[in-house]
Amino acid sequence: MTATTITQTTGYDYRATVIQDIEDWISENHANYDSMDAMREACEPIVTGLDTGSYVYSNWQARDYIARSGFIFGGDWEEFLLWTATMNLDIAEIISDPTDMDTIIRLFHFDEWCWDEASTGIEDMD
């Protein structure tokens, strides 16, 4: 008889990670921007991976984050599909590349909630 070891893995929380990345970025860069709009525009590509084409640079890591998050068919899945349609993104194309999927999930969270939540209480400097 073969013994099987079951290990519990922790989930990956895209929303919490994106919020933390935004907060970190703001704390490092807020003084460089006069307006929240300019700050958001500069922050978005960096914390989502759009600036370089990937947040993680690893298909394995992207697959792991997506799997541990439970994102696909999870709580935000239907909203995500609607969002991709409004952005004219092809879900079949996105889902075929884990690093693209990971980046687009981060962008979805950034656009839908995270920027507003992470930047609450910060005012324009002008």
Strand (E) positions, 12-69? Answer: none
Residue 70: phi, psi to the nearest 5?
A: 70, 20
pLDDT at 8 over 70: no
pLDDT tens across 40-93, in order? 999 999 999 999 888 998 999 999 999 999 888 888 899 999 999 999 999 999
Domain ranges of the chain: 14-118
Given this model, what pLDDT does residue 9 score? 59
- CB within 8 Å of 95: residues ≥ 6 apart: 72, 101
**Distances in Å between the alpha carbon of 60 and those of 36, 68, 74, 99?**
35, 12, 20, 9
User: In angstroms, rounded to a whole number, what is the distance separating the alpha carbons of residues 107 and 83?
Assistant: 10
Residue whose pair of structure tokens reads 């073969």 in the numeric block: 2
Given this model, what pLDDT does residue 125 score? 59
